[in-house]
């Protein structure tokens, strides 16, 4: 017995794709920036200091004294000499008052008072310790005027380029189906 046969022959379809990829470029340029810092204004006012040098004691050590100091010294010396003379005269008066005790008080007093004694003390060298110095510094006044920085920014937009992609579809092979009967 012959049974008819069904024959099926199929050819698959093939699709062809041509793809062009999209292109995109982005460039970001650096921002433009400039910074300037002006110098601060500064002013300094310095008052002069005060220096005092007192060398009076050094001059006195050399026995070079002014009239007022010399007068005070001489008044003191004269006062001491006057007191010493007063006590000497009083003592000599007491000796004369006791003349009856013997001795020769007039001759002894004359002999004692005949001589004249004095001492000369020349001035010595000045020493640095005798010079007094005093320094008072002057105050400094400092004025500062601050200056703000000058900042300049320039924004730059990004460069953006875009080319879209595309797809071309084509049928490279058409599908085919053949059905046959074979007996």
How many other C-beta atoms can be found within 10 angstroms of the C-beta atom of residue 140?
Answer: 9
pTM of the model: 0.36
The predicted pLDDT at position 97 comes to: 85
The predicted pLDDT at position 65 comes to: 84
Query: pLDDT per residue over 20-67, tens digit each?
Result: 999 999 999 888 899 999 999 999 999 999 999 998 888 887 778 888
Q: By the 8 A CB rule, do 176 and 12 touch?
A: no
The predicted pLDDT at position 79 comes to: 94
Q: Where are the alpha helices (DSSP H) in 42-66?
A: 56-61
Q: Which residues contact 125 (CB under 8 A, 6 or more apart)?
A: 61, 62
Enumerate residue ranges in the chain where pLDDT < 70. Answer: 1, 118, 120-128
The predicted pLDDT at position 122 comes to: 64
Q: Which residues of 12-22 are buried (b: 16+ CB within 10 A; e: fewer)?
A: eeeeeeeeeee
């Amino acid at each position: 017995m012959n049974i008819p046969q069904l024959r099926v022959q199929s050819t698959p379809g093939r699709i062809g794709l041509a793809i062009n990829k999209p292109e995109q470029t982005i460039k970001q340029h650096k921002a433009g920036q400039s910074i300037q810092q002006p110098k601060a204004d500064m002013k300094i006012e310095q008052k002069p200091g005060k220096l005092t040098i007192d060398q009076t004691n050094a001059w006195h050590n050399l026995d070079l004294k002014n009239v007022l100091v010399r007068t005070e010294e001489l008044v003191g010396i004269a006062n001491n000499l006057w007191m010493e003379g007063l006590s000497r005269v009083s003592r000599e008066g007491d000796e004369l008052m006791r003349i009856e005790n013997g001795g020769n008080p007039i001759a002894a007093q004359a002999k004692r008072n005949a001589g004249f004694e004095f001492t000369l003390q020349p001035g010595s060298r000045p020493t640095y310790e005798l010079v007094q110095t005093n320094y008072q510094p002057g105050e400094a006044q400092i004025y500062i005027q601050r200056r703000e920085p000058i900042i300049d920014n320039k924004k730059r937009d990004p460069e953006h380029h875009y080319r879209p992609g595309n797809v071309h579809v084509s049928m490279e092979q058409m599908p085919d189906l053949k059905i046959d009967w074979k007996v």
